Amino acid sequence: MPGPEVGNVFRRAGIPFRSVSGWLRQESAWRRIEQWIRAAHIRAALRHARHGLMGHVYPGMLDVQTDPTLLSTTFGSHVEVLEFDDLRHRVERVTEAETRERMALARQVFTLDDSVVEEDFAWGATVSVALDRLVADFELDSLAYYHRGLDGELHERLGAGMILGASLLTARGVPAAGEYELRTSVAQLASQSVGAGGSFTEIQALDFEDGVVEMGHDGPAHLAVSARDPLLRGLGVYHGKRGWGVSVEFDVQHGPVTLLGLGQDADGSLSFVTSEGTVVPGPLLEIGNTTSRVDFGRDPGEWVDAWSATGVGHHWSLAIGHHGADFRAAASLLGIDHRQV
């Protein structure tokens, strides 16, 4: 058996060594091989990705600020820096017929709540058509965006109209994240590449009586992971920030889930941070957010303390199934740390 012999020489030569030892009909060996194949899919997706970054960072959110060059040097990804004017230019060219067609599609995909204002719905549909063209024109594989705006001027209206189109993009495999969260859109793409979905998520509340962490976010959501028909709800405020319009609300499918976030250390190095849990039933907030109750099998406060200590930001990807081993293997291929909570 030459495994130790080869492993020793590779290590002394500075060459990463990984192996799967087994026999031809051994199911456990094939499961390990499949894991490395999924990890290779993640590495390939990030190596060749074109990440759109549109607008500006949310003021004061120091944890989400990311050096775009760091993604290129770590993964090989390209970050395409965009302006909201790139979107405005395409919105101005959307026809009324295209807007009506997109509204019809949205009615097929979503259940519309009575709170949805028709004018806001139409605007979201118009922005959705323009977003599709933006993604196609710049050949984007993901999109992170934010624009604060002021007093209802056009760029603020564009930011307020993003959620419908960004959710439809995410559902078809082009993950989108609000709040200029570039690292989270990367995590969503990694989740998407193994067929696990990947919805923009953060902590909403801790339920100490039931022992669960309530998670979700307003903004773009991965429709494929919803436990029911997603709801479009009209909002007057987005997540405590400036904004209005239509937002997506649903609960993630009940069962096993994996969180994947990108942490960053003092030296700038990135890491994969994961945690596996289970989405369980129970009462949910009806606030136009994706919201799920996640049981990590431990006290919610203890879990949050451990999760916060990893260097992860306050957003991450929520994916269907348990994929911690896949992300650990992908981190090995990418040459970054993996931290499991």
Q: Does pLDDT of 287 surpass 90?
A: no
Task: For 66, list phi and psi in degrees, rounded to 5.
Answer: -135, 135
- The rounded distance, in Å, linking the Cα atoms of 106 and 226 is 15
Q: Which of 287-291, 298-302, 328-332 has the lowest mean pLDDT?
A: 287-291
pTM: 0.89
Q: Where are the domains of the chain?
A: 23-340
- Asked if residue 250 lies in contact with residue 239, where contact means CB atoms within 8 angstroms, the answer is no
> Which has the higher per-residue pLDDT, 282 or 190?
190
Provide the token pair at 144. Answer: 């992170």
Q: Does pLDDT of 237 surpass 80?
A: no
- List, for residues 50-97, the tens digit of each pLDDT value: 999 999 998 888 888 999 999 999 999 999 999 999 999 999 999 999
User: For position 236, what pLDDT does the model report?
Assistant: 55
**What is 229-266 written as a DSSP string?**
--EEEEESSBTTBS--EEEEEB-BPSEEEEEEEEEE-T
User: For position 52, what pLDDT does the model report?
Assistant: 97
- Asked if residue 129 lies in contact with residue 94, where contact means CB atoms within 8 angstroms, the answer is yes
User: Cβ contacts of residue 157 below 8 Å, gap of 6+?
Assistant: 123, 149
**CA separation (Å) from 255 to 193, 225, 281, 295, 304?**
20, 11, 9, 10, 20
Question: Average model confidence (pLDDT) for the chain?
Answer: 89
**Amino acid identity at 231:** L
- The rounded distance, in Å, linking the Cα atoms of 209 and 213 is 11
Residue 228: Cβ within 10 Å count: 10
